Structure 1
Amino acid sequence: MIHLAKRVIRQTINDKRSIMMILVAPLLILTLVYFLLGDTNYVPKVGIYQDAIPHSFINALEEQDLQVIDLIKKEDKQAKQYLKDHHDVDAIFTLSKSSGMTITMYEPNSKARDAASGIQKAIASLNPSAKMNMSYVYGSQDQSSFDSLGFVFLALFSFFLVFIISAMALVRERSGGTLERLLMTPIRRGKVILGYTVGYGVFAVIQAVLLVLYAIFVLRLSIVGNIGWVLVAMVLLAVTAVSFGAAISIFASSELQVVQMIPFTIIPQVFFSGLIPIDQIPYHLGKLCYLMPIYYGAAAIKGVMVYGDGFMQIWGHLFGLIVYAFLLYLLNTQALKKFRKL
């Protein structure tokens, strides 16, 4: 038993990837979580129609470390319409004789909750028994967490599962000698990569379509826009995942090494998938989202499912996925040079 334990220890020490997985990866992920979920200097922005609200209310709002913005100076619109057209406030506080005190928010998220909490505390300091109505432009206060974050899980599951399957399958192809024998033929490297991408992409497309249809028609995940654009975004994300898996497999010599790369390649992307509002991430780390393929897919899916966006609103995210897949294709083609030089 002792000899077996010593052999396992020696093998693990000699495997740099295992050491990184055991010692470095947890520290890296924990540090990333600290930066992304730690204290943020973000100040919730509350819009008001200053002429219609007593000064005592405005002073109470400012005492709660809220940034109060007078909407009258910009544009005289109803609260929901203003939030649709502008994104410079997290919540709008209105006061009227007919509807009383109302907090209107764009959607249920952490920024809206922080703004609403600050408003409630401010009003409670003046009138503890005051009641306020809550309304959202998109979504509702009583909707489930699945309805709020369903688009995130669609993107994550599709990308992660396709990545694992394609990466491990390609590693198995290479370790079994299939790729080596294929590269001994006159076929070009680009066609090899394209063939694998199309082959595994077919199953990725089937999985994406099945996920969307099951989530919407069986699990009753709410959707505002056209389901067709959700399918397009899911398919492009799945194809990108195949290319991403191919890129990782080229630099891995076994299925275990593919798994060892997950903490460095997949887990960081989870934090930029929509679970955390990008502009609320401190230290300007939110800008890293543009390096993450999951961000583009999740943003497009959210735009259609939550906001009812069409092609004109999501084309940038779809184009980002296409560019990402193309760049990975070029990278994979170049990386095959180490297996065969044409």
Structure 2
Amino acid sequence: MILEAILLSPHNTEQLRLRHSTFSVDSDMILDLVDRAASEESYSVDPELGPLRVPTFTETCQDDITRTFAIALDENTAIALAGDEGESEGKLRVRAGLILKEIQSRYDEFRYDSLSGIEKRDLISAVNEYIFEHTRIVLFGASETGKTSIFQFASTGSVVTNYSKTTKTNVVPKLNEYRQILEKRVTGPQDEWFQIANHLLMLYDLPGGKQYRNSWKSYLSRADVAALVVKSTEDGIVEGKKLLTEFENILPDHVIAIANFQDLEDAIPPPIVARFLGVETHGMVAIDVDRHDILRDMLKTSAVTDYQRY
């Protein structure tokens, strides 16, 4: 995870600091790293960056935890990114370099305090775009499996009590909600339900009727995670298996199943559903308010964990 981004102008004056965790790097450490980076002859060979100087360092910080840093710099500006132990040097290097190129394309000499309020928000949003990753989670499945109930439950916390057939694709969050996150100088894991670490989730609810399934292809082919929603009955999981087979060639690597209606008397337990479908499966009752946090945590976890085939 990228924990913090620090932008410095000539003479190593700190101009802007964007925090994505409770941790904040000591300013003296940043200045020392920038000085060391300036004396190195390490150049990026990434084709996205060209001949930018972006050395990386592994350092023990003031809280005695080791973190990785990437410093991208030219004669006018320095960009410092701090990542936790799980963040790769390559990713940090590329992100720092891309942010520097963004600054170079915008300003002859970068001075944050000279920008207008709108320009500051625009810059913060642009930098955060390089830090956050957007993850598309697409809910699909047959009609009357509870996809829209899960969609509503996850995004608003409200329970759908009256069934209404879905006839169009629903998407959350709205664009303005994304913008509000991207324009923040300090973000935390509890800011929004669709945010986890450096990931911003986008949740899609596809109509389940057979007449709408041609439209599934464009959504499933661009999904990062496809979540098959099935009714936890024998007929329900058989129908789900057919859909997995039918759309196998366009599904993303990461496919999960949500075994809904676990409150039915004859509901098939999630482990059995998982073995039949061949994908990671989570049980759900989309009208049980006590499962709201469980559902959101499951969606967030699926966005940041590696694909696992059963």
Larger strand share, 1 or 2: 2
Scaled to the shorter chain, the TM-score interval is 0.3 to 0.5
Q: What TM-score do you get using the length of structure 2 for normalisation?
A: 0.32
Which structure has the greater CA radius of gyration?
1
Higher relative contact order (CA 8 A, sep 6+): 1
Q: What TM-score do you get using the length of structure 1 for normalisation?
A: 0.30
Larger helix share, 1 or 2: 1
